[in-house]
Amino acid sequence: MLLHTCCAPCALPIIEYLLEDKKVKNLTLYFYNPNIYPQQEYQKRLKQAEKIAKIYNLELKVGDYERNKWLNYLEKSLPNSLESYAENEERCLACFRFRLDKTAEFAKNNNFNEFTTTLSVNRFKDTAFINNYGKKLAKKNGLNYAILNLDPYKAHKKEQELVKIYNLYSQKYCGCEFS
């Protein structure tokens, strides 16, 4: 399974859940987040993803930091200026689509049969949209999209405990300059 990893803290309870009882035999993390700004912040979050990959002995694949591509996609997708949208409105839905498109493409081209995203277990995000879009993409690409059966509140609590144990950096904003 390819797990799109938006950031290390969010991934922690999901990795534990997927590895528990060997629900997933082969798990690979995929860090593809050209939304993160500025680049120093991107590097900081990437370092944390590398750290957890080591802790859990997982392979980590890293996509390109295609910042302009991400910005162009959002600008082309939306009628209004990017800063005019509140969090979880259309700008974020386009951001989710962009990263999920790339995740499904990566999964298909690299012989994964299943993918999902850490974005789908989150108290603040439109997880119904994320899961529906993931399922559509999976169908289009002959893949399976995994719905993560986790309570986002319990997952957050677990995340906080594990962040402390592993001494991870935990960011205070979603990622882009508009958040």
Positions touching ligand SF4 (CB under 6 A) are 35, 87, 91-92, 95, 174-176, 178-179
Cβ atoms 10, 2 nearer than 8 A: no
Q: Among residues 18 and 74, whose Cβ is nearest to ligand SF4?
A: 74
* Three-state secondary structure of 27-47: CEEEECCCCCCCHHHHHHHHH
Q: Which is nearer to ligand SF4, 106 or 178 (CB)?
A: 178
Angle at 64 between CA 60 and CA 67, to 5 degrees: 135
Beta carbon nearer to ligand SF4, 45 or 108: 45
Residues across the chain = 179
Q: Return the amino acid letter for 41.
A: E
Q: Is 114 helix (H, G, I), strand (E, B) or coil?
A: strand
CB of 148 to ligand SF4, least distance (A): 18
Cβ proximity to ligand SF4, 16 vs 101, nearer residue: 101
CB of 51 to ligand SF4, least distance (A): 21
In which residue are the tokens 């999209």 written? 145
Q: What is the strand order of the sheet 144-145 is part of?
A: 59-62, 28-31, 2-4, 114-117, 144-145
Distance CA 62, CA 60 (A): 6
Return the SS3 of 116: strand
Residue 175: CB minimum distance to ligand SF4, A: 3
Q: Least distance (Å) from ligand SF4 to the CB of residue 140?
A: 22
Q: Which is nearer to ligand SF4, 91 or 108 (CB)?
A: 91
CB of 22 to ligand SF4, least distance (A): 32
